[in-house]
Structure 1
Amino acid sequence: MGVKELHESPSLSSLYPKALLGSLRKSGGSTLPSTEFVREGVVVDPAHLAAYNQVCGFRLDDVLPATYPHILAFPLQMALMTEADFPFPLLGMVHVANRITQHRQLRLDESFTLRVRAEDLRPHEKGKQFDVVSELLVNDSPVWTDVSTYLRRGGGSGEKTSRGQLSQPSPNAIWPVPGDIGRRYAEVSGDRNPIHLHPITAKAFGFPAAIAHGMWTKAHALAAFEGRLPEAFTVDVKFKQPVLLPAKVAFTSWSEGDGWAFELWNARKPKPHLEGSVVAL
């Protein structure tokens, strides 16, 4: 595997035009690039962490929420997926699942090495899917791992899966989701995909309204467990139907084994937006 070392975070303002140009080319190729992007000396800006915590519903703390490092990895993920040898254009890909493993608590004053790579291209009933793996390391030891699974629609050949149904239809809480949450999360995450920003731009991509970021819904759900989480755990989610903004969503959680299962669903219809689990290591 080749390594591409970066001395600073890639500029998202230059990557978005690159992604737009990449959308003009056809999908092609049956292999993912073997290059791993690496950046050393990654540190957290306290003001940025505070802004993220506020948008996602976490308390202010010097311990990082398990979902926060995804924000640090996002520019490298975009850089990887906009390279000329990447087989699929970035625009139009669907984020279908995300699994984060925190091996220990991460603190604000730490310095990390960040690694990002793509792997495991495989068939899906609606096209092809693959994983983008991001890792934070301290002294060459992984302390946090994020596996984001993306779907490229078209020419599906995988086995069909059953449509999701609610496991626990009685909610623990009802959350209003404001119409501007896509723009607010975009400010702290850098993810300015037009489907999240405004109804007009979302309609251009086939959505009736702007939709919430999947990683915002995961973070907001994880915030509901604050004070109960172990220091080391895995939080795994599958993204189902999008949250059309503004919205009212229902959150349900229940004990399961060494952790919890949870669902986020439309408060007016028994249809899940997200289903997931938290398991202690």
Structure 2
Amino acid sequence: METRELSRAPRLLPLYARAAVPKRRGRPAVPRPAVPERRLVLPAVRPDPARLRRYAAVCGFPDDGRLPATYPHVVAFPLAMSLMAARDFPFPLLGLVHVANRVERLRPVDAGERLTYVVATGPAEPHPRGTAFTVTAQARAGGETVWRSASTYLSRGPGTGEAGAQQEAPDLTVPSRQENWPLPGSLGRSYAASSGDRNPIHLHPLAARPFGFRRAIAHGMWTKARCLAALAADLPGAYAAEVAFRAPVLLPATVRFRAERAEHAGAGWAFDVRAADGTREHLRGAVSPLGG
């Protein structure tokens, strides 16, 4: 696998600008185009305290001197964007759909720790609604991996086969926790300011409409982060949190968060986010403890 070490994180705005330029189609389309398998390394990054506080506040995490479990994703995201914005990457970046995400916090990480990030693209995978691929990320402290993730993206088009087998988070039966969250129309801009993810579909209705949304939509990773923040006091030191993104949340909105203990996962949880009337499921996930 081709590996390149960076001296600093890529800037996201130029990457979005590059993504807006249509790619040349020099070769005929193939049912499942090859994804270049590449890896970027960003060494010894210490979180910016002000940015970390903004991120924790907009997602609802406690200010406890630890990195929120989803925060390394926002540091790794510009590296993933750089890989996906490459001219020979087979899919248009702005048309990709983030369909699933798995985060593993292998131990609590102090807010001041220097972490080295390793981000890589994986091969194309069959999917009934197009072609999928996974971007993996790791954060290392010294020689120890303390965090890792896998983000699955879908490029919509003619189906290329059945999706790979994935463990489905269980449906909730008797939720022990339930909260309604009113989400303002400015949520996408607030999260973008703290995360750097300024995809136009999240910022304003006029920017979202060319992509098929009548209003701006909430970031999927904000929704996941907000769920983990709601459960933070009841989560173990090491855990895996996996979600499937089912339907976008159009802003403004009121959504309902529900959670219950997952019997199959020991100290784990099953959770979901639905429309306030319960009719539409936006996200379904589960948290499972790792280690002993």
Same fold (TM over 0.5): yes
Partner of 2:53: 50
Matched, 1:227 2:227: no
2:201 corresponds to which residue? 195
Give 1:212 shift.
0.2
* 1:146 to 2:149 alignment: yes
Q: Which one of the candidate residues 88, 103, 112 is aligned to 1:109?
A: 112
Q: In the alignment, is residue 242 of structure 1 matched against residue 248 of structure 2?
A: yes
How far 1:158 sits from its partner (Å)? 2.5
Residue 78 of structure 2 aligns with which residue? 75
> What whole-Å deviation, never above 9, does each CA across 1:166-203 have from its counterpart, x for those lacking one?
63486611111111000100111111111111111111
Equivalence for 1:7: 7
What residue identity is the alignment partner of 2:18? K
Residue 167 of structure 1 is matched in structure 2 by 172
8 Å CA contact retained: 1:125, 1:158: yes
Tell me which residue corresponds to 1:270: 279
Name the aligned partner's letter for residue 263 of structure 1.
D
Residue 84 of structure 1 deviates from its aligned partner by 2.0
Matched, 1:177 2:183: yes
Report the Cα offset of residue 143 of structure 1: 0.9
Contact kept in structure 2, 1:251 and 1:262, CA below 8 Å: yes
Q: Secondary structure at the match of 1:49?
A: helix
CA displacement 1:140-162 (0-9 Å, x = unmatched)? 2211001000000011132389x
Q: Is the 8 A contact 2:45 2:116 kept in 1?
A: yes
TM-score (norm 1): 0.94
After superposition, where does 1:55-134 map in structure 2 within 5 Å?
55-134=58-137
- Would the aligned equivalents of 1:165 and 1:272 in 2 still touch at CA under 8 Å? no
Contact 2:4–2:40 (Cα < 8 Å) also in 1: yes
1:229 is displaced (CA, Å) by 1.1
CA distance in 1, matches of 2:185, 2:173: 27
Say what the alpha-carbon RMSD is for the aligned residues. Answer: 2.0
Aligned length: 279
Classify the secondary structure of the residue corresponding to 1:158: coil
Asked if the contact 2:105/2:147 (under 8 Å) is kept, the reply is yes
Shift of 1:18: 1.0
The one-character-per-residue Cα deviations of 1:68-97 (angstroms, maximum 9, x if unpaired) are 110100110111111122111211000000
Amino acid at match of 2:219: H
Structure 1 residues 55, 267: CA separation in 2 closer, same or farther (over 3 Å shift)? same
Q: Shift of residue 13 of structure 1?
A: 2.4
Q: Is the 8 A contact 1:260 1:279 kept in 2?
A: yes
Q: Which residue of 1 aligns with 2:260?
A: 254
Moved beyond 6 Å, runs of 4+: none
Task: Compute the displacement of 1:165 (Å).
Answer: 10
> What are the ranges of 5 or more consecutive residues in structure 2 without an aligned counterpart?
none
Extract unaligned runs of 5+ from structure 1. none
> Given that residues 25 and 89 in structure 1 are in contact (C-alpha distance below 8 angstroms), is that contact kept between their aligned partners in structure 2?
no
Change (3 A) 1:92 1:228: same
* 2:217 paired with 1:211: yes
Deviations 1:33-69 (A, max 9, x none): 1221001011101111100011001111210010011
CA contact (8 A) 1:175 1:249 kept: yes
CA contact (8 A) 2:37 2:123 kept: no
User: What is the percentage of aligned positions where both structures have the same residue?
Assistant: 46
